[in-house]
Structure 1
Amino acid sequence: MTGKTARQCSAWVLPFLVAINLALSAGCAGKAATARHAASNTGSNCYAKALPTAGEGGLAWGSTLNIARQKSLNSCIRYAGRSGGTPSTCQVVLSECKN
């Protein structure tokens, strides 16, 4: 009798554990993505993009055009320096506000 009970138990334990694992990981992934998306758009109507002559640039959002431009320049300087580019050549190449 013990052999049959062990086989019956193992037949449902593995699928149950897999289902719990999938449910937990799917639930956490959906909540994190939603929170990140909502936080990035709150109060940010304007965006700006700054690029150096070499290296990576920066894109930033802000409540005003000036804030977005300044943030993108700061990001450009930081990322251009990290990527082996030229931080001193960063310039804002695009800036707009949404309606």
Structure 2
Amino acid sequence: MTGKTARPCSSWILPSLLAINLALTAGCSGKAATAHYAVSSLGDSCYAKALPTVGEGGLAWGSTLNMARKKSVDNCIRYAGRSGGTPDTCKVVLAECKN
């Protein structure tokens, strides 16, 4: 006999792969988007943003303008180094306090 035999697993392979893909995507999308920026959790009223010439910058909050500036430059140096940028060129481009 030369009849065709159906493969028993071929009917569930594609739905299984789609389900796994959906589960992995859903698991990643449930995370909070922190993106490298510090969030003010204690109600600090001043913030500053520092950027390098190349790479990622840093945003930081502080109780004083000087503290926010220092933190943002420190974050900028860290993130620029991680992203292949130029950490030694970090400069504060925005700094202010909320009322």
Quickly name the TM-score band, shorter chain normalised. Answer: 0.5 to 0.7
Match of 1:72 in 2: 72
Equivalent residue for 1:87? Answer: 87
| Per-residue CA distance 1:38-87 (angstroms, 9 max, x = gap) | x8342400000000000000000000000000000000000000000000
State the secondary structure of the residue aligned to 1:40.
Answer: coil
Q: Distance in 2 between matches of 1:78 and 1:51?
A: 11
Query: Normalized against structure 1, the TM-score is what?
Result: 0.59
* Alignment match, 2:61: 61
More helix by share: 1
Q: Which residue of 2 aligns with 1:42?
A: 42
Q: Percent identity?
A: 76
* DSSP-derived class of the 2:40 partner: helix
Normalising by structure 2, what TM-score? 0.59
> 2:76, 2:59 → 1: CA distance?
8
Q: Which runs of 5+ in 2 are unaligned?
A: 1-29, 33-38
Q: How many residues align?
A: 63
**3-state DSSP of counterpart to 2:81:** helix
| Cα distance in structure 2, aligned partners of 1:42 and 1:52 | 27
Structure 1 gap ranges (5+): 1-28, 33-38
